[in-house]
Amino acid sequence: MNSPSNQLFDAYFTQPAMRAIFSDHGRVQGMLDFEAALARAEASSGLIPQTAVQPIADACKAERYDFAALAQAIVTAGNPAIPLVKALGKQVAAHSAEAERYVHLGATSQDAMDSGLILQLRAAIGLLEQDLAQLAAALAVQAERHADTPLAGRTWLQHATPVTLGMKLAGVLGAITRHRQRLAELKPRLLVLQFGGASGSLAALGEQAWPVSEALAIELGLQLPEQPWHTQRDRLVEFASLLGLIAGSLGKFGRDLSLLMQTEAAEVFEPAAPGKGGSSTMPHKRNPVGAAVLIGAATRAPGLVATMFSAMPQEHERSLGLWHAEWDTLPELCCLVSGALQQALLLVPGLEVDAARMRSNLDLTQGLVLAEAVSIALAQRIGRDAAHHLLEQCCQQAVREGVHLRRVLGANAEVSAQLSAAELDRLLDPALYLGQARRWVERAVAEHQNFSN
């Protein structure tokens, strides 16, 4: 259940379905799913009577438990599994005193919490995979649509040579495709059972430990790792790192979009909607409110990832404090990234593009953004250094006199001796100096399609 402090911002920063996975109900149900599966696994291995399974399974429903009481009990217990198992035992005993003897047999509280977390992460990954696939598809459509739409490339926030909007979007698409690949590669390492008992040896289950472990993994649909990982947290940190990467890529997209929405640029806009992006005092404002979520998530994620890294050197077989530091950190990362993905899915399909403004902005420097094209053409005829020096002088003259570079070049005898008027017109056309922009789009879209198929 969300606290009042979460409710105010969650709709903006978090996907509701992701928050539900990591709600109190979701956390408790994850642990209870572990307990029910443990009973089934131990019964199938002959460790406990089959008659004990149903009373335990029937009690493993989160809605039967008082979350507020559990929260208070955690203060003295040190983790939520301890009071939850006690409450589970009482629920089971109310229907079968015999079955209560077999609740949580051979497990430790961290087994329930970590395996429950993995079940939550599996559901979270399902949402992430779905959203990443939809975002990649939307980016592919927009990249192809604008593969030949020229706009000013910007380096150090200054106009550079022309690029295309499709090329910029293909860059985002490429990153999203790589993140999807990383997620697919990571899943087999991450989605594994945690089951080690008090110190990781499962000594309490004797010779039945391994059969129970195998059966439990099957019950939960998880892989059985080489050994319990109570204090080996690399799997979780790897996933956290990927979430940080996704947040960073979305933040880069949000940053570029917000810059393109600036009044001085006004080239690409978030899709309009009634009341979206308004100001409390300025009726004319159209703020990049979706991009703000992407940038905000990218700003917060590194600190959360750093917490996961900081919590890695956990003591011996069970950790004090460092394990606790993970509890809210990884869920919050999932929620932040899910919220950013939801905003990106609202932004990309409906991007409003002003191609005329892009072309107009390309002309702001009056041909200077194409100086490189002329310099390279001249270099083939008079040498690189001479061409560069000549173009530099012509650019300075154009700026000094406030005229178009084409006019200065056409009036320069050295340039005119080498390049005809038609050649100068061609060299100074932004649409003809886009290099491999279309190829980059085609390659990014092909990578996306290959992975998706």
CATH number at residue 451: 1.20.200.10
Given a cut of 50, is residue 96 above it in pLDDT? yes
Q: Domains in the chain: how many in total?
A: 3
pLDDT tier, 285 (very low <50, low <70, confident <90, very high otherwise): low
Annotate 222-247 with DSSP letters as a single string. Answer: -B--SS--TT--HHHHHHHHHHHHHH
User: 296 lies in a domain?
Assistant: yes
Provide the H-helix boundaries in 154-224.
165-190, 209-220
170 lies in the same domain as 317: yes
Point out the catalytic residue in the list 199, 201, 279, 416: 279
Which tokens hold the place of 364? 């702001």
Strands (E), 299-372: 352-353
In the prediction, which pLDDT does 305 show? 98
Is 318 considered catalytic here? yes
pLDDT (average), residues 329-346? 97
In the prediction, which pLDDT does 1 show? 36
User: 359 lies in a domain?
Assistant: no
The answer to whether the CB of 67 falls within 8 A of the CB of 84 is: no
24 lies in the same domain as 90: yes
83 lies in the same domain as 211: yes
The answer to whether the CB of 47 falls within 8 A of the CB of 105 is: yes
Percent of the chain whose predicted confidence (pLDDT) is above 90: 93
pLDDT tier, 283 (very low <50, low <70, confident <90, very high otherwise): low
User: 307 lies in a domain?
Assistant: yes
In the prediction, which pLDDT does 2 show? 41
Give 373's strand partners: none
Residue with the bigger pLDDT between 218 and 3: it is: 218
264 lies in the same domain as 399: no
Q: Which domain does 321 fall in, by range?
A: 110-192+229-354+434-453
The answer to whether the CB of 441 falls within 8 A of the CB of 167 is: yes
User: 438 lies in a domain?
Assistant: yes
User: 118 lies in a domain?
Assistant: yes
Task: Report d(CA 366, CA 368) in Å as an integer.
Answer: 6
Question: Which of 180-189, 280-289, 416-425, 429-438 is the least confident region?
Answer: 280-289
pLDDT (average), residues 118-126? 98
331 lies in the same domain as 394: no
124 lies in the same domain as 145: yes
CATH number for the domain spanning 414: value is: 1.10.40.30
Check the CA dihedral 45-48-49-51 and report its sign. Answer: negative
Instruction: Name the burial class of residue 397, with classes exposed (0-12), middle (13-18) and buried (19+) by CB atoms within 10 angstroms of its CB.
Output: middle
Given a cut of 70, is residue 396 above it in pLDDT? yes
Point out the catalytic residue in the list 318, 407, 426, 443: 318
Question: Which of these, 131, 160, 166, lies nearest to 343 by C-alpha position?
Answer: 131
User: 3 lies in a domain?
Assistant: no
pLDDT (average), residues 214-234? 97
Which tokens hold the place of 93? 């005993």
Instruction: Print burial letters for 60-73: b (CB count within 10 Å at least 16), e (below 16).
Output: bebeebebeebeeb
Looking at every residue in the chain, the average pLDDT score rounds to 94
Given a cut of 90, is residue 3 above it in pLDDT? no
Task: Report d(CA 320, CA 135) in Å as an integer.
Answer: 40
Task: Give the contacts of 11 (CB within 8 A, at least 6 positions apart).
Answer: none
In the prediction, which pLDDT does 436 show? 97
Grouping H, G, I as helix, E, B as strand and the rest as coil, residue 106 is coil
User: 1 lies in a domain?
Assistant: no
150 lies in the same domain as 258: yes
pLDDT tier, 362 (very low <50, low <70, confident <90, very high otherwise): very high
pLDDT (average), residues 329-335? 97
Given a cut of 70, is residue 358 above it in pLDDT? yes
Given a cut of 60, is residue 131 above it in pLDDT? yes
Task: Give the contacts of 35 (CB within 8 A, at least 6 positions apart).
Answer: 56, 60, 85, 88, 103, 104, 107, 112
Per-residue pLDDT reduced to its tens digit, 244-279: 999 999 999 999 999 999 999 999 999 987 665 554
438 lies in the same domain as 320: yes
58 lies in the same domain as 186: no
Give 159's strand partners: 154
Place of tokens 């293909």: 170
Task: Report d(CA 32, CA 58) in Å as an integer.
Answer: 10
350 lies in the same domain as 418: no
In the prediction, which pLDDT does 402 show? 96
User: 380 lies in a domain?
Assistant: yes
187 lies in the same domain as 234: yes
182 lies in the same domain as 322: yes
CATH number for the domain spanning 22: value is: 1.10.275.10
